[in-house]
Structure 1
Amino acid sequence: MKITTTEMGLAARVSNVSKRFGDGHGAVVALDDVSIGIRRGQFTAIMGPSGSGKSTLMHIMAGLDQPTTGSAWLGDTDITTLDDTALTRLRRRRIGFVFQSFNLVPTLDARSNIVLPFELDGHTPTAEDEAWIATLCESLGLTDRMTHRPHELSGGQQQRVAIARALAIRPDLVFADEPTGNLDSRTGREVLALLADACARFGQSIAMVTHDPIAASYADRTLILADGRIVHELGKETPANISSFMLAMETQS
């Protein structure tokens, strides 16, 4: 009997995934037979040099791109078999996104940005949803900012709104793509602590693509990619240890 992703204790996984762009001698292999799982309630960082395949991996796991070969699951759903309509519905209902550029709607206040995923999915938040959103906003320090539009918020506050929006639907998995890239170091650390807290307090699963060893140090584990393959996995490490490992890897290449 086949063991499911849920029975493995995973929120998502990919199996023997490869991604090739182009054909023939000019083909570029972005991912080369990658198999990994993102554990439930765990903060996973994905690192690697530019061109290592980390963004491609995230896009495939989030259903934003299709692998050339292999399969990707969100929970027990094989997302590589879904059509575009089903993938759009899955992303709205089961995946949260936090981006470097915040991606807030400038004409909407904080609350409207947070509940936007519900509106896009064609329904209003239930009483249970509202209670969850209130809990999130309190934990993120946003309770007194709900009527403010993005231009009235600091960068850190905007990213907090983006985190609340990502968590509001209680997704299987949140993807964070360089979430501190547009923040100063102090605010960036605060945002990373909030992401780590979401895992610890709410059991949220988070996969974060980053190039920053300080950001990766907030994660429970760090996956290292090089040339489209997973070459190493680190547990919870200090920024210095992660930086030393990355430097040694680049020196050996």
Structure 2
Amino acid sequence: MRKNEGLTDLVDKLVTGAINGYGMKNGALHNMNGRICGIGVGIGDPEDITLKAVKMIKESDVLVCPKEDLGECRAYQIVKQVIPEVEDMDIMPVEFEMTKDENKRIHNHRRIYETVKKLVLEGKIVSFITIGDPALYSTYSYVSDLARKDGIETHSISGITSLTACANRLGISLCEGREQLHVIPTIDDIDDALDLPGTKVIMKCGKRIKTVKEKLRSKVGIDVYAISGCGTSNERCFRSLEEIPEDEIYMMTMILKSR
């Protein structure tokens, strides 16, 4: 009788739980309303955060920040200016290790995902805040890929990208008519990229700006623009190759337009 009663109790829980968003996974009862969200917060100016992003952040149970030191986490500092009460939220700071070793990157992403997965299976809404837009070179995309393979619900909220923000700050267009637009994430293979037609955007090139400038000096028919700290109090705009300083600046984006 006790076994039957236990089985009956479990069936009752499953029936009731199905109505309330519960189900079975790996033999355990869990809340299926948990999900993962990627939220783009723009690139620096807190006024650039969308209303949808603010709403989702406030609805989140756990907020994942892409840096262990919140004082140095640009995404968190942007959000804090718009939503001061974020300081009272459940924050999960993580460090996405920047390494060229693919095995180390995969291990790091898996480690972060497994921690997040446990929270989601408890029914929590876990949101990753990310600079720019989650669809453009975001570390969140690695976690969302793993989640989707496990059948976990994911969705993303767009943010203003560095591409468009920098172009608008400089007062130039990225492309017009039939012009092509090429995004170059690293200068490792910049030689071939510089010969592409249309507009080229070189991301985070400040650390090796001397190398980039040397390569550009031999090119003709190209207008060179750059901006560092876009949307922040340290923003600096440059409208020619000569104006760009050679001191290392991490958050620098360069835009090259063919004449």
Alignment TM-score, normalising by the size of structure 1: 0.28
When Rg is computed on C-alpha atoms for both structures, the one with the higher figure is 2
Alignment TM-score, normalising by the size of structure 2: 0.27
Q: Which structure's relative contact order is higher, taking Cα pairs within 8 Å and 6+ residues apart?
A: 1
